[in-house]
Amino acid sequence: MRAVTTHQGRLEVAEVPDLEPGPGQILLDVLRCGICGSDLHARTHGDVTADALAQMGYADFIRSRDTVVLGHEFVGTIAAYGPKTRGSWKLGSRVVALPMLGTGDGVQLTGLSPKAPGGYAEQVLVSEAFAFPVPEKVSDDHAALVEPLAVAHHAVRRSQIGSREVAVVVGCGPIGLAVILLLKAAGVRTVVASDLSAGRRELAKRCGADIVVDPRETDPFDAYGERRGHLRSAQALFDLALGSMRAARSVPGLPWARLMRLAEKAGQVPKGPVVFECVGVPGMIDDLVAKAPLRSRVVVVGVCMEPDAIRPSVAIGKEIDLRFVFGYDPAEFHEVLQWIASGRLDPTPLVTGTVGLEGVADAFADLADAGEHAKILIKP
């Protein structure tokens, strides 16, 4: 079959061996496969990521010396069932699947391991246990977006944001846009989005962001007007604590328990907004820690592959939470599919281009430009 192979950072359309579904596997004819930021990263920083993953106990992430087929955001039709499958869906049905392939050699990350070729190809293998049928109403394009939207869904769920808290999304590439879509689908009322690119700011609006800023002109933490009690200054916090304690103690005959409840309130730092870091370049985390209000939760969704510098003393003084997020569970993946089918989630603004296998190298160049593109889909 034909596929786009990657080796030492070079992309090439090539004839590769046909795939044979093994036990528990299904062979799919690929309808669409998205190009992910991780693919761009993996191509150039694969070895750094492979080292990081090896340290956490996954030994088979692609290295620059490997020749691999990328692609882990795909939809396809069932071409054949392997042995030991249930065969519950008809041949030709559309399915999406988590890009995790059960093999004799453990589960492998599809499109990110030499042991599980990805969706930049005419065909791809998936595990039947991780596959879900695609409802009629969901287009091929939208089905291919389930994977990146599941990443965003997981990030929003893990942030534990309440609908009345303020979300600040920094970086409106595909993942930032997906986070905006999922925040709005989750009912968050105030979503502030920040990006340097005018094109991406326009996409952020189309994805439902309530306030969209160019960070060179407007500090996103100043953009939501009404302060909701967020504190930007330690001095303000100290003064607030003293004022509250004075007020509490001036009440004659106040029972001790009630005084202590007021004392607890006096010292409580009002929570800051929930910040989604969706840029993933060195320096972003430290910059957000420095700029965010006291007690902000910073959810790190953008994957920064290089080592990064932070100032723990600033993070400590502001009591910042850094929550690093990765992947999703099968239920989150399926829920996104259902939300698209029901219309709760409309990912139309995400797709800004479609190419054939021959167009992949140019698409990588366009995406690296970080200009006006969001998601480019491959139609093999």
Quick note: the x/- pattern for its own copies over 265-304, rule CB under 8 A, is -xxx-----------x----x----x---x-----x--xx
**Does the protein bind its own copies through residue 222 (CB under 8 A)?**
no
Return the number of the residue (298 or 350) whose C-beta is nearest its own copies.
298
Residues 7-36 that bind its own copies (CB under 8 A): 24
> How many residues belong to the site for its own copies (CB under 8 A)?
77
Residue 244 CB, shortest distance to its own copies, in Å, is 9
| 24 Cβ neighbours under 8 A, 6+ residues apart | 82, 84, 85, 102, 127, 128, 129
Cα–Cα distance between 322 and 313 in angstroms, integer?
Answer: 14
Taking CB under 8 A as the binding criterion, the range among 70-78, 168-176, 178-186, 242-250 that sits at the site for its own copies is 242-250
Q: Which tokens sit at 179?
A: 């986070």
CB 24: neighbour CB atoms within 10 A? 19
Residue 369 CB, shortest distance to its own copies, in Å, is 23
- The amino acid occupying position 96 is V
**Does the protein bind its own copies through residue 332 (CB under 8 A)?**
yes
Residues 129-168 that bind its own copies (CB under 8 A): 129-130, 158
Return the number of the residue (46 or 349) whose C-beta is nearest its own copies.
46
Q: Are 161 and 65 in contact (CB under 8 A)?
A: no
Return the number of the residue (122 or 332) whose C-beta is nearest its own copies.
332
**Does the protein bind its own copies through residue 196 (CB under 8 A)?**
no
CB 325: neighbour CB atoms within 10 A? 17
Residues 80-109 that bind its own copies (CB under 8 A): 86, 100, 102, 106-107, 109
Return the number of the residue (31 or 231) whose C-beta is nearest its own copies.
231
Return the number of the residue (220 or 280) whose C-beta is nearest its own copies.
280
Exposure string (b/e) for 250-260, b if CB count within 10 Å is 16 or more?
eeeeeeeeeee
| 62 Cβ neighbours under 8 A, 6+ residues apart | 6, 42, 46, 50, 68, 112, 113, 114
